[in-house]
Amino acid sequence: MVCLHEIWREFGNKHLSILLLLSRMQNDVRLIRVDFSLRREVFFVVVGAVVGALIMIIPKTILEVGMGLPYYLTWIAFGHIVGIYSPASIIAGITIHILTTISIGIILGIFLYKSGILNISKLSNGLIFGLIAGSAVFIVFFIPLQQFVLVPEIVHTMSKVMFMSQQEAARHISSNFLYIVVGSAVTHLVFGVTLGIISSFLSIKFGSRYRCSIHDISFSRIDSYQKHEELVQGKTPIQQKRILILGGGFGGIEVLRQLQKAFQDDVSVDITLVSRDNFFLFTPMLPEVSSGMIETRHIVTPVRTFCNRAKFYEANIESVDLENKQVLITHAVGKETDPIAWRSHVLKYDYLVLALGGETNFFWNDSSSQVRFHDEKHR
């Protein structure tokens, strides 16, 4: 058993920052949603819908040009519908298109969240959602709009822009009926697929967290969580590689972030962080706190907010047993000032990261003698 002060001595005792002893290694699902809100889901879907609306302009333009119509015709027709007959009708048309898309995105987002039918933090689900959404928008919204509002206005606009009679324009549209229906369906599927992929990507990256209540680990992807359940809690659990990070300061947190990024989907790696503080302190701004420019809470961040793929123990590290690859930690149960009991745990590891910071060196002067010396100098 090696005590901490021996490790300090062994690795250079005055400013030990990080010693990274690490090398790269390589159905009963409880869906627990943590840190996920209706507002966030709706926002992701709306972003996906707006991007989809912009992308769908490409097939739409190809469709119209293929029919021998000017590419701006529909936008002008949209502008005319809201009573704008100047050249600004094109801008009005595109604005209406985007506003309609945002409204559709809000409706789809609320529906997705409230119904809970599909979990879009899985890319394939996002794709399915997109295809269903694109088809629904085409059938429920676009076909009636096209039939009763858009086509009459397009005929009217064609007669003005292309100098033809309204009968000729109507004949041109009806002769291309099948082409328009198929083309519009494809256009809306492009919209839906883009919406699904973008909203799914955003959800994976910034959205949901799925916490395993047994191992206290959360995942940002539902498929990682399911893989974890299957492989770690299944009938024949896999032997995980355990990485133990000691210290929640600059070193420890940065190592944690990088490891989580590298092993986000690799559930065969178990990451644990231990620190006596449950917060990360941004020391460079400590002087601003002492001079009253900012508050203490502005420079502390809870360690748990960094642990989206790791366990966290708020505990003291008592000793490290390098031989047996285990660390003894203790934590108070109850109030820290008046602990009811101290509990100790042994954490086993395969790879150890030491990031316990450094000790201030007063060069054998204790702090009180330094104050005296300072005072004497100024006397």
User: Closest approach of Cβ 323 to ligand FAD, in Å?
Assistant: 19
Among 31, 139, 181, 286, binds ligand FAD (CB under 6 A): 286
Among 17, 61, 278, 301, binds ligand FAD (CB under 6 A): 17
The answer to whether 278 contacts ligand FAD (rule: CB under 6 A) is no
* Residue number of the CB atom closest to ligand FAD: 249
Half-sphere exposure of 100 (CA within 13 A, CB side): 14
The answer to whether 83 contacts ligand FAD (rule: CB under 6 A) is no
The answer to whether 183 contacts ligand FAD (rule: CB under 6 A) is no
**In 214-355, where do the E strands start and end?**
217-219, 241-246, 269-275, 279-281, 300-302, 311-314, 316-321, 326-333, 341-348, 351-354
User: Closest approach of Cβ 256 to ligand FAD, in Å?
Assistant: 11
Q: Count residues contacting ligand FAD (CB under 6 A)? A: 18
User: How far is residue 243 CA from its own chain's centroid?
Assistant: 24
Half-sphere exposure of 323 (CA within 13 A, CB side): 3
Among 83, 116, 284, 292, binds ligand FAD (CB under 6 A): 284
User: How far is residue 351 CA from its own chain's centroid?
Assistant: 28
Residues numbered 28-57 forming contacts with ligand FAD, rule: CB under 6 A: none
Closer Cβ to ligand FAD, 206 or 295, answer by number: 295
Which tokens belong to 139?
């059938």
CA angle 326, 330, 334 (to 5 degrees): 155
Stretch near ligand FAD under the rule CB under 6 A, chosen from 56-64, 90-98, 137-145, 276-284: 276-284
Tell me the C-alpha distance between 78 and 65, whole Å: 17
| Binding letters toward ligand FAD, positions 252-271, x by CB under 6 A | x-------------------
* DSSP symbol at 306: G
Q: Which residues bind ligand FAD (CB under 6 A)?
A: 17, 247-252, 275-277, 283-284, 286, 316-317, 355-357
